[in-house]
Structure 1
Amino acid sequence: MAKSSLHSDVRTHILQTAQPIISGKGYSAVGLNEILQASGVPKGSFYHYFGSKDAFGQALLEHYFEHYQLDLDALLQPPAMPAGHRLMQYWTRWLELEVNGDCKGRCLAVKLAAEVSDLSEAMRAVLQRGTQQIIARLAGCISEGLEDHSLPPLRLGHPELTATTLYQLWLGASLRSKITRNREPADAAMTATRRLLGLEPCPR
């Protein structure tokens, strides 16, 4: 195996090993020794793959969003299903993860957003880019839903505004779920999502 390929494989292995650990404990609470021990990489090797813990955190978030975007594209792009249905699959999957407590290793943006945005400008910038890309994909799916009539005219008027509002709603619901340790915030987010998308009437 070529040296550059081996370097990439070990680096990826460290990131994949670290993601569930940091998703569970947070960024600041996890030391480099714990990550290296879990990944089976010698202690002195870390700085061969990452220049600093800040650079490691940036790489971790970039790795997370890269794979998140691929999963999101696979979910939102299949042309055989109406766009409105594809969009609701995304929120339904988010709800299931919250209800089943199966977010470990997957909800890194939720876990780290508040913690690292004040600690690292580089990590904050990755979070900003990554979440904006998610919102842009959601907005695109909403626009498709309006075109294929699987979504009614939007209550908020614009796909971008609707996508931003919904994504922020679910981020808040995920944080609230951590506080309450129950499914009520996620259920409320789903109800609000359906109403904002015009998929059920607002109560009178």
Structure 2
Amino acid sequence: MARPSLREKIIESGVRTLHERGYAGAGVREITSDAGVPQGCFTNHFRSKEAFAATILDRYHERTQAIMDGTLRDKGRPPVERLRAYFDAITERLEAAGWRYGCLVGNMSLEVPEQSEVLRTHLVEVCRALTDAFAEAVRAGQDAGEIRGDLDAGDVATFLLAAWEGAMMRMKVDRSPQPIEQFKRVIFASILAPGVKAGSPQ
């Protein structure tokens, strides 16, 4: 197997470093040190820290999309089960991190919009893609009679993402899974069609 390029090592390390330390807390020195590469390698591959952060967001989003492909977009599951599978898959990752770091997209959404218009615009695009994936699952649930039909799918999707990010933010503060579990209980109790249990077709 080919050895990873220096650029790839910086990106892989950068996902972890920005996730754990935040945009402001992760300097070029920390990023390259964590990657085990000379500091000069950074400027060879990225024109700025801002451009680097955009690349990190893209890599993180690719990983999230891969999880969505196996959950939200899995047509072999009932739609509500797709939603639950997605939240459960992310919960496993949050638990593995000790309930400490939450979502990189949410973290950066709190930190960078006033610092960088480039990153703010990038975050808008990422959040739109996440919302679209939720909306697709919600519409499928409405078509199957699993999710309330009196709700606009786009509104539900926007609320799902906002509430999920908020739950992860509170999780980081509490260092506890309780906000995540509360989110799941309230969300599914709120959006399910009457007589439908979460994860079960009507």
TM-score, normalised relative to structure 2 = 0.84
Matched with 2:148 is 153
Please give the alpha-carbon distance, in whole angstroms, between the structure 1 residues aligned to 2:43 and 2:102.
25
Matched with 1:124 is 120
Identical aligned residues as a percent: 25
Per mean C-alpha deviation after superposition, the further-off stretch among 101-110 and 135-144 is: 101-110
Residue identity opposite 1:142 in structure 2 = V
1:197 aligns with 2:191: yes
Residue identity opposite 1:163 in structure 2 = A
Matched with 1:169 is 163
Matched with 2:199 is none
Task: State the Cα distance separating 1:99 from its structure 2 match.
Answer: 4.6
Per mean C-alpha deviation after superposition, the further-off stretch among 76-85 and 102-111 is: 102-111
1:52 aligns with 2:48: yes
Q: Which runs of 5+ in 1 are unaligned?
A: none
When residues 153 and 200 of structure 1 are mapped into structure 2, their CA distance, relative to the original with a 3 A threshold, is closer
3-state SS of 2:114 partner: coil
RMSD: 2.5
3-state SS of 2:25 partner: coil
Cα deviations by residue, 1:150-197 (Å, 9 ceiling, x for unpaired): x13245x11111111111011111111122222222122111111222
3-state SS of 1:78 partner: coil
Task: State the Cα distance separating 1:64 from its structure 2 match.
Answer: 1.4
Q: Which runs of 5+ in 2 are unaligned?
A: 196-202
Per mean C-alpha deviation after superposition, the further-off stretch among 157-166 and 174-183 is: 174-183
Matched with 1:178 is 172
Matched with 1:39 is 35
Cα deviations by residue, 1:37-92 (Å, 9 ceiling, x for unpaired): 22222221211100011111111112211232232122222222112211111122
Per mean C-alpha deviation after superposition, the further-off stretch among 112-121 and 8-17 is: 8-17
Contact 2:94 2:100 (C-alpha < 8 Å) held by counterparts? no
Please give the alpha-carbon distance, in whole angstroms, between the structure 2 residues aligned to 1:46 and 1:96.
32
TM-score, normalised relative to structure 1 = 0.84
